[in-house]
Structure 1
């Protein structure tokens, strides 16, 4: 690693810590997974900035500190089976792959799923399974899940996803009725029902039903 690259990585991790990402396992995963591998074209040189960036199909790759905070809130254990709704660039799934036993990720855009799978293959990440489908319905054939993360905003936590969460499981997702007022929430499923925590304000693309165009 060059001095410049090492300095850039140090600044990247410092920015994460300064914004509240303190879990060592999460920081180690984010140090290991190079965000630059998931960004193409004119935005590649900005891969290590703490900012969201455009990707194909009108979507975005989330701000690294938000990825870190969502991952931290998910409290992933090494034996967990995780569902991610909204593959996007694949960056979030790659982070989760370092923390969980298996990650299932689904996106409505076939192109994004293909491109993300290509990056996973290039990085030799073998514990992620990708799907092109309407993520708002989850993946009932593979449920239940220990953890569910949604990287697009719904007005309320989707019922099918809550139904696919194990007792003792955690779901983290943005909720809000517009793209300007959204809250990141954590849902815990207990023996007696659902517990909700509001974590912070965020801004995500909307969770849409159906399949997108290729």
Structure 2
């Protein structure tokens, strides 16, 4: 029987699936529904499975994986996913921009603060801050774009009282979208 567990670890990233189940469980057990405009905090620690080839700090891809769990928490704790699914919508990761400021060392605990900063008719835009617990330093900041299908987000967001007044588009998002458009035009031109 032990060989089945070993085979699962070899064939799949089993820790990812276990953590996903734990995240879903923690959402189900949460007692308070949060507003879409509230900051949601998730916690982590840099383990030996997260470190880079130098064996001393979290590798770049693990930062991006943490964003998955942060968004899962946001979707679940705000009850956004349930409402969006009922409206026939679905979302998927469209783009990510991240700036690394300082490494997260092995065994260093951190939190990821996630908040919705803007939306348009097609996408949700999140800001994620990686902050180490012992010193409160922002180690990285990321923005992620979640692309919606089958539902106009401007209309859908109007169902939530806290979203009736849409925030202004942050400068970072405006510049990022412009850079993405330049990149898309260049790719089309190079075909």
Does TM, normalized by the shorter one, top 0.5? no
Larger Rg: 2
What is the TM-score of this pair, normalised by structure 1? 0.28
What is the TM-score of this pair, normalised by structure 2? 0.31
Specify which structure has the bigger relative contact order, considering alpha-carbon pairs within 8 angstroms and separated by 6 or more residues. 2
